[in-house]
Structure 1
Amino acid sequence: MNNNVLQVLLVEDDRDLAASVADYLLLEKISVDHAYNGQAGLTLVLENSYDVLLLDLMLPRMNGLTLCEKLRQQGIDTPVLMLTARDTLDDKIAGFSAGTDDYLVKPFALEELIVRIQALAKRRSGQVRKLQTAGLTLELDTKTATRDGQSIKLTPSEWTLLETLLRASPAIVSRQELEHVLWPNDLPDTNSLKVHMYHLRQQVDKPFSKPLIHTVKGQGFVINNA
Protein backbone atom coordinates (compact mmCIF):
# COMPACT_ATOMS: atom_id res chain seq x y z
CA MET A 1 0.00 0.00 0.00
CA ASN A 2 1.09 3.57 -0.69
CA ASN A 3 1.29 5.21 2.73
CA ASN A 4 0.55 8.60 1.15
CA VAL A 5 -2.87 7.46 -0.07
CA LEU A 6 -5.74 7.18 2.38
CA GLN A 7 -7.38 3.75 2.39
CA VAL A 8 -11.15 3.85 2.98
CA LEU A 9 -13.79 1.13 3.17
CA LEU A 10 -17.32 2.13 2.12
CA VAL A 11 -20.13 -0.18 3.29
CA GLU A 12 -23.26 1.02 1.48
CA ASP A 13 -26.08 -0.96 -0.16
CA ASP A 14 -27.32 1.89 -2.37
CA ARG A 15 -25.28 1.11 -5.45
CA ASP A 16 -25.83 4.48 -7.15
CA LEU A 17 -24.78 6.41 -4.04
CA ALA A 18 -21.82 4.08 -3.49
CA ALA A 19 -20.63 4.59 -7.06
CA SER A 20 -20.90 8.39 -6.77
CA VAL A 21 -19.03 8.44 -3.46
CA ALA A 22 -16.33 6.05 -4.69
CA ASP A 23 -15.77 8.04 -7.89
CA TYR A 24 -15.45 11.29 -5.96
CA LEU A 25 -13.05 9.81 -3.42
CA LEU A 26 -10.86 8.47 -6.20
CA LEU A 27 -10.73 11.96 -7.75
CA GLU A 28 -9.46 13.17 -4.36
CA LYS A 29 -6.73 10.48 -4.43
CA ILE A 30 -8.46 8.37 -1.74
CA SER A 31 -8.41 4.61 -2.35
CA VAL A 32 -11.80 2.91 -1.84
CA ASP A 33 -12.92 -0.66 -1.19
CA HIS A 34 -16.65 -1.27 -1.25
CA ALA A 35 -19.05 -3.75 0.34
CA TYR A 36 -22.82 -3.88 -0.18
CA ASN A 37 -23.75 -5.54 3.13
CA GLY A 38 -22.57 -5.55 6.72
CA GLN A 39 -21.22 -9.09 6.74
CA ALA A 40 -19.07 -8.47 3.67
CA GLY A 41 -17.89 -5.23 5.28
CA LEU A 42 -16.84 -7.07 8.44
CA THR A 43 -14.87 -9.58 6.38
CA LEU A 44 -13.00 -6.82 4.53
CA VAL A 45 -12.13 -4.96 7.75
CA LEU A 46 -10.70 -8.13 9.28
CA GLU A 47 -8.66 -8.90 6.17
CA ASN A 48 -7.30 -5.42 5.37
CA SER A 49 -6.04 -2.22 6.93
CA TYR A 50 -8.04 0.99 6.48
CA ASP A 51 -7.64 4.60 7.62
CA VAL A 52 -11.39 5.27 7.85
CA LEU A 53 -14.58 3.20 7.63
CA LEU A 54 -17.73 4.67 6.06
CA LEU A 55 -20.74 2.68 7.27
CA ASP A 56 -24.33 3.07 6.19
CA LEU A 57 -26.69 2.60 9.13
CA MET A 58 -29.31 0.47 7.37
CA LEU A 59 -27.50 -2.45 5.76
CA PRO A 60 -28.61 -5.97 4.77
CA ARG A 61 -27.24 -9.00 6.66
CA MET A 62 -25.80 -6.82 9.46
CA ASN A 63 -26.69 -3.18 10.15
CA GLY A 64 -24.11 -0.48 10.67
CA LEU A 65 -24.55 -0.31 14.45
CA THR A 66 -24.02 -4.06 14.88
CA LEU A 67 -21.03 -4.00 12.56
CA CYS A 68 -19.48 -1.12 14.49
CA GLU A 69 -20.07 -2.87 17.83
CA LYS A 70 -18.40 -6.06 16.58
CA LEU A 71 -15.35 -4.13 15.39
CA ARG A 72 -14.93 -2.33 18.70
CA GLN A 73 -15.37 -5.53 20.69
CA GLN A 74 -12.55 -7.10 18.66
CA GLY A 75 -10.20 -4.22 19.39
CA ILE A 76 -10.31 -2.60 15.96
CA ASP A 77 -9.71 1.13 16.44
CA THR A 78 -10.20 2.35 12.86
CA PRO A 79 -12.29 5.56 12.93
CA VAL A 80 -15.91 5.08 11.82
CA LEU A 81 -18.03 7.67 10.02
CA MET A 82 -21.68 6.61 10.04
CA LEU A 83 -23.75 7.61 7.00
CA THR A 84 -27.48 7.74 7.68
CA ALA A 85 -30.78 9.38 6.82
CA ARG A 86 -31.68 9.33 10.51
CA ASP A 87 -30.84 12.56 12.26
CA THR A 88 -32.61 12.45 15.62
CA LEU A 89 -30.64 12.82 18.84
CA ASP A 90 -31.58 9.27 19.88
CA ASP A 91 -30.20 7.90 16.61
CA LYS A 92 -26.92 9.75 17.10
CA ILE A 93 -26.63 8.61 20.72
CA ALA A 94 -27.17 5.01 19.58
CA GLY A 95 -24.44 5.42 16.99
CA PHE A 96 -21.89 6.83 19.40
CA SER A 97 -22.77 4.16 21.96
CA ALA A 98 -22.04 1.50 19.32
CA GLY A 99 -18.58 2.95 18.71
CA THR A 100 -19.09 5.49 15.93
CA ASP A 101 -16.67 8.43 15.86
CA ASP A 102 -18.61 10.80 13.60
CA TYR A 103 -22.00 11.14 11.93
CA LEU A 104 -22.97 12.44 8.50
CA VAL A 105 -26.64 12.78 7.64
CA LYS A 106 -27.88 12.01 4.11
CA PRO A 107 -28.06 13.79 1.77
CA PHE A 108 -24.59 15.21 2.31
CA ALA A 109 -22.15 17.26 0.27
CA LEU A 110 -19.26 15.19 -1.04
CA GLU A 111 -16.91 18.05 -0.18
CA GLU A 112 -17.93 17.73 3.48
CA LEU A 113 -17.41 13.96 3.35
CA ILE A 114 -13.82 14.52 2.24
CA VAL A 115 -13.17 16.93 5.11
CA ARG A 116 -14.62 14.47 7.65
CA ILE A 117 -12.53 11.61 6.26
CA GLN A 118 -9.33 13.63 6.34
CA ALA A 119 -9.98 14.69 9.94
CA LEU A 120 -10.75 11.16 11.13
CA ALA A 121 -7.74 9.67 9.33
CA LYS A 122 -5.39 11.69 11.55
CA ARG A 123 -6.28 9.68 14.65
CA ARG A 124 -7.35 6.29 15.90
CA SER A 125 -10.73 5.73 17.45
CA GLY A 126 -11.13 6.09 21.19
CA GLN A 127 -14.23 3.91 20.98
CA VAL A 128 -12.44 0.57 20.90
CA ARG A 129 -13.48 -1.82 23.70
CA LYS A 130 -10.41 -4.06 23.63
CA LEU A 131 -6.71 -3.20 23.51
CA GLN A 132 -4.20 -5.89 22.61
CA THR A 133 -0.68 -6.54 21.42
CA ALA A 134 1.69 -9.51 21.56
CA GLY A 135 -0.60 -11.63 23.75
CA LEU A 136 -1.40 -8.77 26.15
CA THR A 137 -5.11 -7.87 26.26
CA LEU A 138 -7.16 -5.28 28.12
CA GLU A 139 -10.95 -5.75 28.09
CA LEU A 140 -12.17 -2.22 28.78
CA ASP A 141 -15.79 -3.11 29.57
CA THR A 142 -14.96 -5.74 32.18
CA LYS A 143 -11.70 -4.13 33.34
CA THR A 144 -9.80 -7.40 32.96
CA ALA A 145 -6.20 -7.83 31.84
CA THR A 146 -4.54 -10.99 30.53
CA ARG A 147 -1.25 -11.98 28.94
CA ASP A 148 -1.03 -15.24 27.03
CA GLY A 149 -4.30 -16.26 28.67
CA GLN A 150 -3.07 -15.62 32.21
CA SER A 151 -4.96 -13.11 34.36
CA ILE A 152 -3.05 -10.00 35.45
CA LYS A 153 -4.10 -8.12 38.57
CA LEU A 154 -3.63 -4.36 38.31
CA THR A 155 -4.23 -1.45 40.65
CA PRO A 156 -6.23 1.49 39.21
CA SER A 157 -3.01 3.43 38.60
CA GLU A 158 -1.35 0.45 36.89
CA TRP A 159 -4.43 -0.02 34.72
CA THR A 160 -4.33 3.65 33.68
CA LEU A 161 -0.65 3.43 32.75
CA LEU A 162 -1.09 0.22 30.79
CA GLU A 163 -4.16 1.49 28.95
CA THR A 164 -2.31 4.67 27.98
CA LEU A 165 0.68 2.72 26.69
CA LEU A 166 -1.47 0.24 24.76
CA ARG A 167 -3.57 2.95 23.13
CA ALA A 168 -0.39 4.64 21.90
CA SER A 169 1.49 1.45 20.89
CA PRO A 170 3.76 1.19 18.98
CA ALA A 171 4.41 4.89 19.58
CA ILE A 172 6.44 6.11 22.55
CA VAL A 173 4.62 7.84 25.42
CA SER A 174 6.62 10.54 27.18
CA ARG A 175 7.21 10.58 30.91
CA GLN A 176 5.39 13.92 31.09
CA GLU A 177 2.29 12.51 29.38
CA LEU A 178 2.13 9.54 31.74
CA GLU A 179 2.56 11.80 34.75
CA HIS A 180 -0.26 14.01 33.52
CA VAL A 181 -2.54 11.01 33.03
CA LEU A 182 -1.95 9.82 36.60
CA TRP A 183 -1.77 13.21 38.30
CA PRO A 184 -3.55 15.77 36.11
CA ASN A 185 -3.75 18.48 38.76
CA ASP A 186 -0.83 18.00 41.12
CA LEU A 187 2.41 16.32 40.09
CA PRO A 188 4.11 14.30 42.86
CA ASP A 189 7.84 13.95 43.42
CA THR A 190 10.07 12.84 40.56
CA ASN A 191 10.33 9.19 41.66
CA SER A 192 6.59 8.46 41.78
CA LEU A 193 6.22 7.47 38.11
CA LYS A 194 9.35 5.30 38.34
CA VAL A 195 7.81 3.41 41.27
CA HIS A 196 4.50 2.91 39.44
CA MET A 197 6.27 1.67 36.29
CA TYR A 198 8.31 -0.77 38.38
CA HIS A 199 5.16 -2.29 39.88
CA LEU A 200 3.48 -2.42 36.46
CA ARG A 201 6.44 -4.32 35.02
CA GLN A 202 6.29 -6.75 37.94
CA GLN A 203 2.75 -7.66 36.87
CA VAL A 204 3.02 -7.50 33.07
CA ASP A 205 6.59 -8.65 32.35
CA LYS A 206 8.20 -10.47 35.27
CA PRO A 207 6.16 -13.72 35.04
CA PHE A 208 6.95 -14.03 31.31
CA SER A 209 10.06 -14.75 29.28
CA LYS A 210 10.02 -11.58 27.18
CA PRO A 211 9.38 -8.01 28.36
CA LEU A 212 6.81 -5.87 26.56
CA ILE A 213 7.32 -2.58 28.42
CA HIS A 214 10.51 -0.79 27.37
CA THR A 215 12.20 2.43 28.46
CA VAL A 216 13.37 4.65 25.60
CA LYS A 217 16.12 6.80 27.07
CA GLY A 218 15.34 10.50 26.96
CA GLN A 219 11.92 9.91 25.37
CA GLY A 220 9.64 7.83 27.58
CA PHE A 221 8.12 4.37 27.52
CA VAL A 222 6.71 2.05 24.86
CA ILE A 223 4.97 -1.30 24.61
CA ASN A 224 6.18 -3.55 21.81
CA ASN A 225 7.36 -7.07 21.18
CA ALA A 226 10.85 -6.10 20.04
Structure 2
Amino acid sequence: MLDILLVEDDRDLAATVIQYLELEGIRCDHADNGVMALQLSQDHDYDAMLLDLNLPRLDGISVCERLRADGNDVPILMLTARDQLNDKLAGFQAGTDDFLVKPFELQELVVRVVALTRRRSGQAKVLQCADLRIDLTAHEATRGGTALKISPTGWKLLEHLLRASPAAVPRQKLEQAIWGEDVPDSNSLKVHMHHLRRAIDGDFEQHLLHTVPGFGFAIREATL
Protein backbone atom coordinates (compact mmCIF):
# COMPACT_ATOMS: atom_id res chain seq x y z
CA MET A 1 0.00 0.00 0.00
CA LEU A 2 1.25 3.47 -0.88
CA ASP A 3 1.78 5.85 2.03
CA ILE A 4 1.46 9.56 1.26
CA LEU A 5 1.12 12.89 3.06
CA LEU A 6 -1.54 15.41 2.10
CA VAL A 7 -0.75 18.99 3.15
CA GLU A 8 -3.94 21.01 2.70
CA ASP A 9 -5.61 23.61 4.93
CA ASP A 10 -9.06 23.21 3.34
CA ARG A 11 -10.38 20.46 5.61
CA ASP A 12 -13.42 19.65 3.49
CA LEU A 13 -11.23 19.16 0.40
CA ALA A 14 -8.72 17.17 2.46
CA ALA A 15 -11.44 14.84 3.77
CA THR A 16 -12.72 14.23 0.24
CA VAL A 17 -9.24 13.52 -1.12
CA ILE A 18 -8.32 11.20 1.77
CA GLN A 19 -11.55 9.22 1.41
CA TYR A 20 -11.04 8.79 -2.35
CA LEU A 21 -7.39 7.80 -1.99
CA GLU A 22 -8.24 5.20 0.63
CA LEU A 23 -10.81 3.69 -1.77
CA GLU A 24 -7.94 3.40 -4.25
CA GLY A 25 -5.79 1.57 -1.68
CA ILE A 26 -3.61 4.58 -0.82
CA ARG A 27 -3.02 5.41 2.86
CA CYS A 28 -2.94 9.14 3.54
CA ASP A 29 -1.78 11.23 6.52
CA HIS A 30 -2.93 14.84 6.72
CA ALA A 31 -1.30 18.11 7.80
CA ASP A 32 -3.17 21.42 7.64
CA ASN A 33 -0.11 23.70 7.86
CA GLY A 34 3.48 23.77 6.66
CA VAL A 35 5.13 23.34 10.05
CA MET A 36 3.14 20.19 10.77
CA ALA A 37 4.08 18.89 7.32
CA LEU A 38 7.80 19.19 8.12
CA GLN A 39 7.32 17.45 11.47
CA LEU A 40 5.46 14.51 9.91
CA SER A 41 8.06 14.25 7.14
CA GLN A 42 10.80 13.83 9.73
CA ASP A 43 8.94 10.97 11.42
CA HIS A 44 7.76 9.07 8.31
CA ASP A 45 9.20 7.93 5.00
CA TYR A 46 6.33 8.81 2.66
CA ASP A 47 6.05 7.52 -0.90
CA ALA A 48 4.83 10.95 -2.08
CA MET A 49 3.58 14.30 -0.80
CA LEU A 50 0.57 16.32 -2.01
CA LEU A 51 1.51 19.87 -1.05
CA ASP A 52 -0.82 22.87 -1.25
CA LEU A 53 0.89 26.09 -2.30
CA ASN A 54 -0.98 28.43 0.07
CA LEU A 55 -0.67 27.21 3.65
CA PRO A 56 -0.77 28.78 7.12
CA ARG A 57 2.40 29.10 9.21
CA LEU A 58 4.70 28.03 6.32
CA ASP A 59 3.76 28.11 2.63
CA GLY A 60 4.23 25.25 0.19
CA ILE A 61 7.28 26.75 -1.52
CA SER A 62 9.08 27.12 1.83
CA VAL A 63 8.15 23.57 2.88
CA CYS A 64 9.52 22.24 -0.40
CA GLU A 65 12.75 24.24 -0.07
CA ARG A 66 13.37 23.00 3.48
CA LEU A 67 12.74 19.37 2.57
CA ARG A 68 15.17 19.51 -0.33
CA ALA A 69 17.79 21.38 1.71
CA ASP A 70 17.60 18.55 4.27
CA GLY A 71 18.11 15.95 1.55
CA ASN A 72 14.52 14.67 1.63
CA ASP A 73 13.82 13.26 -1.85
CA VAL A 74 10.12 12.46 -1.39
CA PRO A 75 8.32 13.09 -4.71
CA ILE A 76 6.18 16.23 -4.36
CA LEU A 77 2.99 17.05 -6.28
CA MET A 78 2.12 20.68 -5.60
CA LEU A 79 -1.58 21.57 -5.49
CA THR A 80 -2.40 25.14 -6.43
CA ALA A 81 -5.36 27.32 -7.38
CA ARG A 82 -2.97 29.36 -9.50
CA ASP A 83 -2.11 28.51 -13.10
CA GLN A 84 0.57 31.16 -13.59
CA LEU A 85 3.90 30.30 -15.19
CA ASN A 86 5.83 32.25 -12.54
CA ASP A 87 4.24 30.20 -9.75
CA LYS A 88 5.16 26.97 -11.48
CA LEU A 89 8.73 28.13 -12.11
CA ALA A 90 9.07 29.09 -8.44
CA GLY A 91 7.76 25.68 -7.43
CA PHE A 92 10.11 23.76 -9.68
CA GLN A 93 13.02 25.89 -8.50
CA ALA A 94 12.09 25.06 -4.90
CA GLY A 95 12.17 21.36 -5.74
CA THR A 96 8.64 20.22 -6.56
CA ASP A 97 8.26 17.41 -9.11
CA ASP A 98 4.86 18.16 -10.60
CA PHE A 99 1.86 20.51 -10.41
CA LEU A 100 -1.89 19.95 -10.32
CA VAL A 101 -4.16 22.99 -10.63
CA LYS A 102 -7.36 23.22 -8.58
CA PRO A 103 -10.08 22.25 -9.15
CA PHE A 104 -8.86 18.82 -10.26
CA GLU A 105 -10.43 15.46 -10.97
CA LEU A 106 -9.72 12.92 -8.24
CA GLN A 107 -9.04 10.25 -10.84
CA GLU A 108 -6.28 12.42 -12.35
CA LEU A 109 -4.84 13.00 -8.87
CA VAL A 110 -4.50 9.24 -8.32
CA VAL A 111 -2.81 8.78 -11.70
CA ARG A 112 -0.31 11.54 -10.89
CA VAL A 113 0.39 10.12 -7.42
CA VAL A 114 1.00 6.61 -8.71
CA ALA A 115 3.34 7.95 -11.41
CA LEU A 116 5.32 9.94 -8.83
CA THR A 117 5.70 7.04 -6.44
CA ARG A 118 7.45 4.96 -9.09
CA ARG A 119 10.57 7.01 -8.50
CA ARG A 120 12.19 9.05 -5.79
CA SER A 121 12.62 12.71 -6.57
CA GLY A 122 15.74 13.84 -8.37
CA GLN A 123 15.28 17.32 -6.91
CA ALA A 124 17.12 16.76 -3.62
CA LYS A 125 20.43 18.62 -3.60
CA VAL A 126 21.86 17.22 -0.36
CA LEU A 127 22.01 13.47 0.29
CA GLN A 128 23.07 12.03 3.63
CA CYS A 129 23.48 8.81 5.62
CA ALA A 130 24.80 9.09 9.18
CA ASP A 131 27.78 11.48 8.95
CA LEU A 132 28.30 10.88 5.21
CA ARG A 133 27.00 13.84 3.22
CA ILE A 134 27.15 14.94 -0.40
CA ASP A 135 26.15 18.36 -1.68
CA LEU A 136 25.19 18.02 -5.34
CA THR A 137 25.18 21.75 -5.97
CA ALA A 138 28.68 22.35 -4.58
CA HIS A 139 29.83 18.88 -5.73
CA GLU A 140 31.32 18.19 -2.31
CA ALA A 141 31.39 14.98 -0.29
CA THR A 142 32.21 14.86 3.42
CA ARG A 143 32.33 12.26 6.18
CA GLY A 144 32.27 13.55 9.73
CA GLY A 145 32.94 17.01 8.32
CA THR A 146 36.12 15.85 6.53
CA ALA A 147 36.26 16.36 2.76
CA LEU A 148 36.46 13.16 0.72
CA LYS A 149 38.33 12.65 -2.53
CA ILE A 150 36.10 10.69 -4.88
CA SER A 151 36.58 9.94 -8.58
CA PRO A 152 33.90 10.99 -11.11
CA THR A 153 32.73 7.37 -11.42
CA GLY A 154 32.78 6.95 -7.65
CA TRP A 155 30.67 10.11 -7.32
CA LYS A 156 28.00 8.69 -9.66
CA LEU A 157 27.95 5.44 -7.72
CA LEU A 158 27.73 7.26 -4.40
CA GLU A 159 24.85 9.43 -5.59
CA HIS A 160 22.86 6.41 -6.80
CA LEU A 161 23.49 4.53 -3.57
CA LEU A 162 22.56 7.48 -1.34
CA ARG A 163 19.36 8.17 -3.28
CA ALA A 164 18.29 4.57 -2.67
CA SER A 165 19.60 4.36 0.93
CA PRO A 166 18.95 2.37 3.04
CA ALA A 167 17.73 0.02 0.29
CA ALA A 168 20.23 -2.00 -1.70
CA VAL A 169 20.86 -1.25 -5.38
CA PRO A 170 21.27 -4.20 -7.78
CA ARG A 171 24.70 -4.60 -9.35
CA GLN A 172 23.20 -4.49 -12.85
CA LYS A 173 21.41 -1.20 -12.14
CA LEU A 174 24.65 0.42 -10.96
CA GLU A 175 26.52 -0.82 -14.04
CA GLN A 176 23.81 0.50 -16.34
CA ALA A 177 23.80 3.88 -14.57
CA ILE A 178 27.55 4.27 -15.14
CA TRP A 179 28.20 2.59 -18.48
CA GLY A 180 24.81 1.99 -20.07
CA GLU A 181 24.91 -1.19 -22.16
CA ASP A 182 28.71 -1.05 -22.62
CA VAL A 183 30.04 -2.43 -19.33
CA PRO A 184 33.87 -2.66 -19.76
CA ASP A 185 34.28 -6.03 -18.02
CA SER A 186 32.92 -8.02 -15.11
CA ASN A 187 35.46 -6.62 -12.65
CA SER A 188 35.01 -2.92 -13.45
CA LEU A 189 32.25 -2.27 -10.91
CA LYS A 190 34.10 -4.29 -8.27
CA VAL A 191 37.22 -2.14 -8.72
CA HIS A 192 35.30 1.14 -8.50
CA MET A 193 33.36 -0.02 -5.43
CA HIS A 194 36.66 -0.97 -3.78
CA HIS A 195 37.99 2.58 -4.30
CA LEU A 196 34.69 4.11 -3.16
CA ARG A 197 34.73 1.99 0.01
CA ARG A 198 38.26 3.15 0.81
CA ALA A 199 37.22 6.77 0.26
CA ILE A 200 34.15 6.78 2.50
CA ASP A 201 34.89 4.04 5.07
CA GLY A 202 38.69 3.74 5.15
CA ASP A 203 39.45 5.85 8.23
CA PHE A 204 36.14 5.41 10.04
CA GLU A 205 35.11 2.84 12.63
CA GLN A 206 31.55 2.58 11.34
CA HIS A 207 31.30 1.23 7.80
CA LEU A 208 28.45 2.54 5.69
CA LEU A 209 29.03 0.84 2.33
CA HIS A 210 27.84 -2.77 2.45
CA THR A 211 27.97 -5.58 -0.09
CA VAL A 212 24.72 -7.53 -0.40
CA PRO A 213 25.84 -10.99 -1.60
CA GLY A 214 24.26 -12.11 -4.84
CA PHE A 215 22.47 -8.78 -5.30
CA GLY A 216 24.42 -5.53 -5.14
CA PHE A 217 25.41 -2.80 -2.69
CA ALA A 218 23.84 -0.53 -0.09
CA ILE A 219 24.77 2.50 1.97
CA ARG A 220 23.23 2.32 5.42
CA GLU A 221 24.23 2.51 9.07
CA ALA A 222 23.95 -1.22 9.70
CA THR A 223 23.34 -4.34 7.65
CA LEU A 224 19.69 -5.39 7.73
Which of the five TM-score ranges fits, normalised by the shorter chain? 0.7 to 0.9
1:65 aligns with 2:56: no
198-207 or 165-174, larger mean C-alpha shift: 165-174
| Structure 2 residues not aligned, in runs of 5+ | none
Identity within the alignment, % = 58
Structure-2 residue corresponding to 1:156: 152
**TM-score, length-normalised on structure 2?**
0.88
1:41-65 per-residue CA deviation (whole Å, 9 max, x = no partner) reads 2222223332221111111221111
Alpha carbons of structure 1 residues 31 and 188: separation in structure 2 relative to 1, 3 Å = closer
Corresponding residue to 1:215 among 208, 211, 222:
211
1:88 matched to which residue of 2? 84
The answer to whether residue 5 in structure 2 is matched with residue 14 in structure 1 is: no
Of the three residues 193, 199, 222, the one matched with 1:197 is 193
Counterpart amino acid of residue 170 in structure 2: S
Classify the secondary structure of the residue corresponding to 2:83: coil
Gaps of 5+ in 1: none
Amino acid at match of 2:165: S
- Relative to the length of structure 1, the TM-score reads 0.87
In 2: Cα distance, 1:32 partner to 1:175 partner: 33
Q: Distance in 1 between matches of 2:216 and 2:131?
A: 22
Deviation for aligned residue 1:184: 3.3
Whole-Å separation in 2 of the counterparts to 1:30 and 1:185 = 36
Mapped partners of 2:44, 2:214: distance in 1:
35
Q: Give, in angstroms, the shift of residue 185 of structure 1.
A: 6.7
How far is the alpha carbon of 1:193 from its aligned partner?
2.6
Cα distance between partner residues in 2 of 1:32 and 1:217: 36
Q: Distance in 1 between matches of 2:19 and 2:127?
A: 35
Name the counterpart of 2:24.
28
- Shift of residue 186, structure 1, vs aligned partner: 4.3
Quick one: distance in 2 between partners of 1:92 and 1:167? 25
Shift of 1:219: 2.3
